[in-house]
Amino acid sequence: MRMVTTILIVSLATALSAEPQRPAANGNGPAAFDYEAARQQKRVTAVRITGEIDVDGRLDEPAWQSAAPATDFYQWQRPGEMASEQTEVRFLYDDDNLYVGVTLWDSQIERRVVNELKEDYNFRDTDGITMHLDSLHDRRSGFTFGTNPAGAKRDGQLSNDGALNVDFDNVWDVKVRIGDDAWFAEFVIPFKSLRFLNTPTQEWGVNLSRRLLRSNEESMWAPIPVRFSAIRMSLAGTLVGIENIRPGRNLKVKPYLSAGVTQVRTDGRMQTIRSLGKLRGLESGYDGGVDFKYGVSPSITFDATYHTDFAQVEVDQQQVNLTRFNLFFPEKRDFFLENAGTFSFGSSGSGGNSNLVPFFSRRIGLGPSGTPIPIVGGARLTGKVGAYDLGILTMKAESLGATPSNNYLVGRLKRNLMARSWVGGIVTNRDSTLQGDYNRVYGADAHVVLDKLEFDSYLLKSDTPGKSGKNQARKLSALWRDDELFISGEYNTVQTNFNPEAGFVRRRDNTNYSGEFTWKPQLRGSEAIRNLSIGTTVDYFNGGNGKIETREQAINAGITFENNGFANAGITQTFDRLINRASIQGIAIRPGDYAYQQYYANFNTSQSEVVSGTGSVNWGQFWDGRRRSFSGGLALKPNYRFNAALNYSRDQIRLQSARSTTNLVGARMVYGFSPRSFVNAFFQYNGSTHELSTNIRFNLTYRPLSDLYLVYNDRRDVRAGLPVERAFIVKLTNLLNF
């Protein structure tokens, strides 16, 4: 309690002693800045060209001077203030491509910050420029394309006016050049990589954001309120001037060939349990398959896959579970990541902070322990039809051991309303080859936005043999969000027999009431502190019998610094009522009532520095005993080619019945030979199992979306000094773009 009180006192003292807020550009203060009026002026015209553009980052073709630039960027964190450095963005196009030329003036070019060369770099840790393009001009969806001064590439897919899927990959290119007082970026984006309406004259939404890390400044061409980010396409500017273009046939065929072997220690010796070919019943040690993509219409895309393979996917990072409930592991497989936003349900469809996700693609082709199950193939249809968003996915997984072959079908339909609202429905279906073995979930959701006030709700029902009655899940929530204040309240329930077998449920058979109040005052007059944070949360869980099962109340306070570092601390009070015996980290906990109080504190230093760190500590009462947990990380970025990170966590539990100590040590290293060639190595040691896991991947992109992967996985018993399981895989993909 003393720590939180100290932080509160320091925070309030800092707020009171800070300089007065600096006035905005219009002289009326930040609150008076008219975002809508500024956005209406943000229009830029693309110019058609007939000559060739050599994409080399030089911008020396005469055509570039014929295009009037988009200029006058606004600072994001300081409403109404202009960016400290000028940025100019010009647009050209021909029959096949959109060209974007960017001049980023920098009076201290020698102090530019570049920490990564890898694809999909962390844009918060580097200088950079990102373009957000709404080519359908529906003010909800689009694509992002970005680069940094090292020429690294970052792209993503936008959906739901604020959701970003950075795992989406597109066909495009960019080249960068460093000058004496500016750096330059030259983009080429094929029209067949975009989706747009088949009309003679195009009008697209566009916004541009620039990050200048040494001053932790983010600026945007079309200004965005602090509570949102630049991917809010409903607040973007407008790109005009593009006429008489066609996306072409928009057919992509991507075959792959992979070879490899997996060995497991059995009866004291390593034995080959499968090769990639034998995994599908073939005698060969190699396998192959193909993915198809076809643009059915300018706004509808059809994808198909045969013999789907995910050999290049990074292994899951182990997590320590100190709860009685399921952990959420994110999806990493490319086929399921693309257009994932179409199938999201409710306001938190990603699942990371949600108790329930009705469709969770990891249920397809992965066993409960993460063991791969061969996928025969599948198809997906996604896109827009008028005011509707449509998604249909079907997949077939083969049988493996005691797991029968399963067919999956998922359907999602949303009707867009007003600027950022929708109503929709979802259906999931799993059928196996065993008679009477099926599972279905169906329901509806709604998302309503009224300026700063948002409402979310859903109603779901499942159908499973042997589980009738009490098979619903419901949610109703409301929140208020402005630049400094966040208030929310939520009710949700998961009934006893609700069973989404193609989804994810963290906590079953309960009703939850929760609320949050957070105030983040911005200190615009401070050169060191960006904002304070003071908040409280409350969670009540009633079990299926209607009696209280868990009550959790927390208060926290923190400081976010101008260099993006932060520190916070808090107190959590918990009451748990166990009806049945539970187990945490192998320690049995008897039924009964438990009340306990815990304290926590964590910090992050600026991630833009050559050496940066993170730390977190949690201590206090835990069930009928005590808990002490610590986690820390150290990141080293000596240059943009090499990044290394070391993480350590220790969880020590002392209960009346037993004690448990868990240590996890992880190390990750990335070396970039070029923006298209990387080595990624990840090592993790689990002190409880005494196992060391290794995942080493080499990736060479020899053409856009055409890759060579070399992957080595190893799991070994450190005490015996012997391997437990290992695999080596080679995979080659080649994109044919028609």
3 state DSSP class of 571: strand
Considering only CA atoms, which of 559, 526, 532, 564 is closest in space to residue 113?
564
Residue 637: which region, alpha, beta or left (left: phi > 0; alpha: psi -120 to 50)?
Answer: beta
What pLDDT does residue 369 have?
A: 66
Most confident of 2-11, 240-249, 458-467: 458-467
User: Cα torsion at 635, 638, 639, 645 (round to 10°)?
Assistant: -20
Average pLDDT for 449-476: 94
Average pLDDT for 167-184: 93
DSSP state, residue 356 = E
Beta strands in 191-232 (DSSP E): 204-212, 217-220
- CB atoms inside a 10 Å sphere around CB 271: 10
> Average pLDDT of the chain?
88
Average pLDDT for 57-85: 94
pTM over 0.85? The answer is no
Considering only CA atoms, which of 318, 361, 685 is closest in space to residue 504?
361
What pLDDT does residue 370 have?
A: 66
Q: Name which of 111-120, 244-253, 328-337, 634-643 the model is least confident about.
A: 328-337
- % the chain with pLDDT above 90: 61
Tell me the CB-side half-sphere exposure of residue 282, using CA atoms within 13 A.
Answer: 13
The 10s digit of each residue's pLDDT in 545-577 is 888 999 999 999 999 998 888 999 999 999 999
Q: Note the CATH number of domain 35-240.
A: 2.60.40.1190
CA 5 – CA 9 distance, rounded (Å): 6
Average pLDDT for 477-486: 93
3 state DSSP class of 673: strand
Angle at 211 between CA 207 and CA 212, to 5 degrees: 145
User: Is residue 313 very low, low, confident or very high in pLDDT (cuts 50, 70, 90)?
Assistant: low
pLDDT at residue 541 above 80? yes
- CB atoms inside a 10 Å sphere around CB 44: 20
**CA of residue 160 relative to chain centroid, distance:** 14
3 state DSSP class of 234: helix
What pLDDT does residue 353 have?
A: 53
CA 113 – CA 214 distance, rounded (Å): 7
User: Is residue 175 very low, low, confident or very high in pLDDT (cuts 50, 70, 90)?
Assistant: very high
What pLDDT does residue 451 have?
A: 85
Angle at 146 between CA 142 and CA 150, to 5 degrees: 170
The 10s digit of each residue's pLDDT in 277-309 is 554 544 456 778 899 999 888 788 899 999 877
The tokens for 293 are 């993509």
Note whether 234 and 162 are within 8 A (CB): no
User: Is residue 30 very low, low, confident or very high in pLDDT (cuts 50, 70, 90)?
Assistant: very low
3 state DSSP class of 376: strand
Considering only CA atoms, which of 520, 668, 584, 605 is closest in space to residue 77?
520
CA 183 – CA 176 distance, rounded (Å): 7
Note whether 386 and 524 are within 8 A (CB): no
What pLDDT does residue 162 have?
A: 85
pLDDT at residue 680 above 90? yes
What are the Cα distances from residue 532, in Å, to 12, 493, 558?
A: 8, 34, 6
* Higher-scoring residue by pLDDT: 487, 328: 487
pLDDT at residue 694 above 70? yes
Q: Name which of 607-611, 674-678, 708-712 the model is least confident about.
A: 607-611
Task: Please enumerate in sequence order all residues whose Cβ is within 8 A of that of 627, keeping only pairs 6 or more positions apart, or say none.
Answer: 322, 598, 618, 619, 620, 621, 651, 652, 653, 654
User: Is residue 329 very low, low, confident or very high in pLDDT (cuts 50, 70, 90)?
Assistant: confident
User: Is residue 678 very low, low, confident or very high in pLDDT (cuts 50, 70, 90)?
Assistant: very high
Average pLDDT for 26-40: 69
What pLDDT does residue 347 have?
A: 67
What pLDDT does residue 276 have?
A: 54
CA 154 – CA 143 distance, rounded (Å): 11
The 10s digit of each residue's pLDDT in 136-169 is 999 989 999 999 999 999 999 998 888 888 878 8
Most confident of 75-84, 305-314, 548-557: 548-557
3 state DSSP class of 214: helix
Residue with tokens 């792209």: 155
